[in-house]
Structure 1
Amino acid sequence: MTSAPILDIHDIHKDYGTYQALKGVTLSVRQGEFIALVGPSGCGKTTLLKQVAGFEDATSGTIRIEGKDMAGIPAALRPTSMVFQKLALFPHMTVAQNIGFPLKLRKVPTAEISSRVNEMIQLMELKPIYLDRFPRALSGGEQQRVALARSMISSPKLLLLDEPLSALDVKLKKVLQAELKRLHRSVGVTFVHVTHDLEEAMMLADRICVMRAGRILQLGEPSDIYYRPADAFVAGFIGETNLLPIEVTGRNATGIVYRSGEISDTTGQVENPLVAEDVSQGPAMMMVRPELFRRLRDGETADCEIAATVTEVFTKGGTVQYRARSDGGHDLAIEIQGTSQLPMQLGEHVRLGWPKKDIWVLRPGEA
């Protein structure tokens, strides 16, 4: 993967009357990269995708693809292709006609269209017998593959995906997520993917862009977003988490010193790599992901400990999820590897421990 950006979005604003959908978005996407745009409904992620595709004009700012300013260039002439949540396959056209339609619009010779359609069928692992069928005769997953084939047949530089898997059942979605990853790896096209499914974003994307209220809050690799969120909102949005209040009593060259009314810490210190730069003396939050907790038996110790009472138990086969109330009155989410014997019981008072290596200390704020 090269470092040169194929897509360069600079200071994009989009207003609908008095409503500001995008408020100065700047984003650079590298050639061959898979970027996922995530955020709550109305955060601007689909609006941003439409600006790139050329379906809407920005109020201000610039969008460049391969260094070329896209201002005034209509969607049909941009080196992009978009797959929508509603696949918009033509019901009166066969699968072959649907897939080849973009090339037909460009007046590509019939023989070449047929050859390219067959290439797409193989790429998407669709059976050749489907070519003469109509979309209604296919399953949801097969229709999804047809839509992807149609979007890829014109060899776009950028493939824009607007929640194309959201309407599928869980099992089929898992299959097509793996197919999407395989497709990205095999064709080397740059993907920009809007999704509400945070697990999907973590699994597929090289980088994740978290948006809120028309702005980008954080852009980074999945592990950075998950374990080193920019603020309390990102921490809570990207997966379930625990934000435990602490008081920072000092900060020096190596880290922070803190105290807590309910966390028992062997040192009372956290090193700088585990502390956000903007944390200073005063209130802060220690982020502990649910899977970091383990139950401590008599005689066992951990870097950090907290006492709590189990309030709910949810079995998920491979894992068991718990809700607990700490002795200090804070609700905790816990995830432990499942076994035939539940490690904790409803109503049980337990000690929970966790290592410091994957915690994150950040400023308090709206989650």
Structure 2
Amino acid sequence: MAVKEIMDTLANQTVANKKLSELVKDIRLVGNVLEVIFMLPDRTLESEIREKAMQALKEVEGIGEVRVRFADMTPPPQQSPAFQRRRLPGIKHLIVVGSGKGGVGKSTVAVNLAVAFSKLGYKVGLLDADIYGPSVPTMLGIKNQKVEVDAFQRIIPIEKYGMKVMSIGFLLPSEDTPLIWRGPMLMKALMQFLFDVKWGSLDFLVLDLPPGTGDVQLTLAQTVEMDGAIVVTTPQDVALADVKKAVVMFKEVGVPVLGVIENMAYFVCPETGNKYYIFGKGRVLGFAQAYGLNVLGSIPIEPEVSETSDTGVPVVESYPESASAKAFLNIAKIISQELERR
């Protein structure tokens, strides 16, 4: 039984001029017990949604029991002045790249997406917010460089491939130096990287988040005005389980999710040209549809991607005719067009 089948079934039922599929927040299947969590736009509709969902889903083959729950859609309390969101001066669009899980290629996506924006003619900045594991300096071939400050004590970012780049890696004595910081110090550093760096005027500032849904993500969401989040995942269920948490977190803190990028989607055999879906096929699309998101693009498994990340020349720059580079450029076009329409 696929998520798509469940969503298609719910799409046939409407409540208050809305398809039931549009109100789904989460779907969970344990054995033959299906639990569907709906957003509740109006409490007076609870009984009608429950009745129609139960009636429709009990006809789906393979389901033994249907449970319907509702998520609280009460508007969050008004933010206090201490958590007033600020827009970065001079930055037209601030985009965050997150994953909810490590090891899915989030930083690789963030770096190549930033380079793709630059290739399209935009003025771009890239902020490595993964304080404990900064990898952006290595991926851009600038890991031994150090930043300076101007007369106003503003940090001058490093420039590479036409972009302005900032990372904690530029402040450490060496790449082997560990950061043993508690939360308050980490948050202070992030705020400095955002507001005390001489970014100038930028069309896009791409922010590479650390994995997970912890203090960094929540603090940024409370203090900085963001134009959207991009979620990176691989096709495995173990990755999607954590990515779901990231999507829900972004939505709950009021950050619009621009879409999902499927990394390591498939491998093309160089000898035969055949596609092999090593980690599975269709799961990311089903997940995106269940959460009302767009799949912005699929990045194949290509040796050039990892090789160029290690050598400091992103694949968009070093192999512009590769399938991966073309995918990143297409994703950048989709995002820029979407944000320009707003």
Give the number of the structure with larger relative contact order, counting CA–CA contacts within 8 Å between residues 6 or more apart.
2
Higher helix share: 2
Higher strand share: 1
TM-score range, shorter chain: under 0.3
TM-score where L is the length of structure 1? 0.25
